[in-house]
Amino acid sequence: MPRADIDSIFNPKSVAIIGASRQETRNGYHVLKNIKDIGFTGKIYPINPKADEILGYKVYKHLNEIDGDVDNAIIILPTNIVVQAVQNCVKKGVKSVIIITEGFGETGTDEGKNMQQELKKIANSSPIRIVGPGTMGVVNLPNFISTYVNLGGLQQDGKLAFIAQSGIFAGGMVRYFASHDSKLSKIISLGNKVDVDDSDIIDYLAEDKQTRVIALYMEGIRSVERLIKSARNFAIKKGPIVILKGGRTPEGARAANSHTSSLAVDDRVFEGIVRQTG
């Protein structure tokens, strides 16, 4: 089955915020406010069964109430109803979803692991692309953002793209970049990587006109062969990839597993990848 183009993650023409909130302390409020504040020009569909209006936008009770197409959906819901929300997105024909919700494989519980496996099954059996779960979101100013993080002061007219698996780490780096006048092209947090992974993003950035360099914080690798191929292609077409590998110590490996359910790659394997990539 053909997969949807991941450009809808960065440049959607319409977005649904599933779990938009009226409460200013909630991530569902901050995601919607960030999208509004950057002046997103596409269609915005907040979804909340208990609200009629949030930040001046009409609120929909359910995804199927929306008449038009939805390119991207940002999911900020309780963990136990995320799988059903993604299934609804598949039925609606949504091209991509960004799951900010945590509480899946990284918990180490059977319930969390099973829900994460269900998300993988959906990704493998439908065209939809999934970022996360447990992602901070994507920052692609001035076109689109899908994060709850405060972006005040962030400059995004540079040539450096930043990719991280951990949402916590990515959020901290956004604040660092904003306070140090760093200029970037894109910021991507991958979370638990049930579908979209480092190689997918590297391949996308290899065709991105703005990006020339990638900084990558990596905790685990899903496909070594594919990563080598993608990194090599980017290096030939564009420029260097600078990688910081997490989980090198036993404590770091446990931390990586606890917040992104990622199995740390042996240092010797990682060094072999770097050598083969050049």
CATH of the domain at 226: 3.40.50.261
Tell me the pTM. Answer: 0.91
116 lies in some domain: yes
Amino acid 259: pLDDT = 46
CB-CB neighbours of 216 under 10 Å: 20
Task: Please list, in sequence order, all residues whose beta carbon lies within 8 angstroms of the beta carbon of residue 57, skipping any fewer than 6 positions away.
Answer: 32, 36, 44, 45, 46
Residue 222: closest CA among 255, 264, 267: 264
Three-state secondary structure along 46-80?
EECCCCCEECCEECECCHHHCCCCCCEEEECCCHH
Mean pLDDT of the chain, nearest integer: 90
2 lies in some domain: no
Amino acid 153: pLDDT = 87
Residue 119 has pLDDT above 80, yes or no: yes
Residue 253 has pLDDT above 80, yes or no: no
Say yes or no: 143 and 268 in one domain.
yes
Enumerate long-range contacts of 220-224, CB under 8 Å, 24 or more apart. Answer: 220/165, 220/193, 220/247, 220/256, 220/260, 220/262, 220/263, 220/264, 220/265, 221/265, 221/270, 221/273, 222/193, 222/197, 222/198, 223/197, 223/199, 224/269, 224/273
Are the beta carbons of 58 and 116 closer than 8 angstroms? no
Which one of 106, 131, 156 terminates a domain?
131
Amino acid, single-letter form, for residue 196: V
Query: Mean pLDDT throughout 187-214?
Result: 96
1 lies in some domain: no
Say yes or no: 124 and 153 in one domain.
no
Helices (H) and strands (E) in the chain, counts: 9, 13
Are the beta carbons of 174 and 30 closer than 8 angstroms? no
pLDDT tens, position by position, 213-252: 999 998 878 888 899 999 999 999 999 999 888 765 555 5
Amino acid 17: pLDDT = 98
**If you search the block for the tokens 């990719």, which residue do you land on?**
163
Say yes or no: 97 and 147 in one domain.
no
What percentage of the chain exceeds 90 in pLDDT?
74
pLDDT tens, position by position, 27-48: 999 999 999 999 999 999 999 9
Residue 257 has pLDDT above 70, yes or no: no
> Domain range for residue 201?
138-277
Amino acid 224: pLDDT = 83
Say yes or no: 112 and 148 in one domain.
no
Which one of 131, 166, 197 terminates a domain?
131
Query: Mean pLDDT throughout 159-166?
Result: 94
Beta-bridge mates of residue 47:
18, 60
pLDDT band at 98 (very low <50, low <70, confident <90, very high): very high
180 lies in some domain: yes
